[in-house]
Amino acid sequence: MSKNDEEFYRTRVKQNPQDVDSWIELGITLRLKNKLAEAEESLREALQLDQQNSMIWFELAITMGDKGEFKEAEKNYRQTLKINPSAINAWFNLAIILTQQNDLIGAKEAYNEFLQLEPQDPVAWLNLGTTYHKLENYTEAENAYRTTLDIDPSITKASLNLSIILVENNNNPTEAESVLRKALDYDPFCTILLKYLFNILKIEYYLPSIVSAAEKKSFKLGNYEAIIVSDIVSYGNIQYEHLLYLYEKGKQEPIYFVSAEKNQLALETGSPTLFLCAFEKTGHANFGLDSSLKDITNFTKAALGIIAQKFNIPIDKMPKIE
């Protein structure tokens, strides 16, 4: 959306103040440019012209939600649905707004209404499961998570939450392990899944907290395989530029990690320098600062050097990194 769009619609409503559609488009344009007060004003001008237009109420609800005025947003979503009960996006957004207000019963009802109209939406099923989970209705939460995974088995959060219920409420760690292993097939670098799997298996291991990452390179190292990942989304106060995951052949779970990371102090100061670190059962080892680690080739050389020394891998088994 450009400035010219805004000017275009401002000209339109000036020339014809009765043009409802132009007031709506101006409101949307302003909202997308984060001019929320002006967006609200434009949409209320549209409402003065057409109180029964569900699109105006819907856009006003989004605007009020963006402003953090959740009660007003809720009221506007409900008015949208009063006019058009089949407005599926209004049901979904209403559920989110109600969750933000901690009205879990209302959110549950809104998600169920949405799913009556869109029964194959996995995100709605996941959110419904999370809502039931918070309400401590574990049977319905489990059913919602299973439905989520039936529709899209790659949704990590559904697998994790289902495994938690299976362990903590159903006393079924065997199935929970199966659920987590299947999830790791889809999302192998998510150590949040791995942490809970290790917890079930009673394996002590200090792990980086990784939500997701993208594979960049892989290497065969005798009886091991090393995978280098980047584009990492982490959980917590540490950010990772690159990570090496080391696997034994035929094993799903990694046995060692090497990282190029920034701690909280580096993040606060904006320092470009990264720490070279390793994770193993005994904890987190820091090999010091290295300004060259941002480059993935330099990181790969340093990480493989640590692996070669730690696991006594002969030189002829190590790849040549150019």
What are 4-61's pLDDT values in tens digits? 689 999 999 999 999 999 999 999 999 999 999 999 999 999 999 999 999 999 999 9
Structure token digits, residue 204: 């002590």
Distance CA 96, CA 298 (A): 44
- Contact predicate 216/297, CB 8 Å: no
What is the average pLDDT score of the chain?
93
Question: With bands split at pLDDT 50, 70 and 90, how would you rate the model's confidence at 236?
Answer: confident
- Residue 92 is encoded by which pair of tokens? 């979904």
Q: What is the pLDDT of residue 246?
A: 96
- Of 8 and 320, more confident: 8
Per-residue pLDDT reduced to its tens digit, 52-107:
999 999 999 999 999 999 999 999 999 999 999 999 999 999 999 999 999 999 99
Closest CA to 153 of 183, 176, 173: 183
Q: How confident is the model at residue 2 (pLDDT cuts 50, 70, 90)?
A: very low
Q: What is the pLDDT of residue 1?
A: 46
In which region does residue 222 sit, left (phi positive, over 0), alpha (psi from -120 to 50) or beta (all else)? Answer: left
Q: Which residue has the tokens 């000209």?
A: 11
Rg for the chain, CA atoms, rounded: 26
Amino acid found at 284: H
Which residue's entry shows tokens 């609200």? 40
> Among candidates 79, 19, 83, which has minimal Cα distance to 45?
19
CB atoms within 10 A of CB 2: 9
pLDDT in tens, 248-283: 998 999 999 999 998 766 555 556 679 999 998 888
Diameter over CA atoms, the chain: 80
- Residues 131-181 have pLDDT tens digits of 999 999 999 999 999 999 999 999 999 999 999 999 999 999 999 999 999
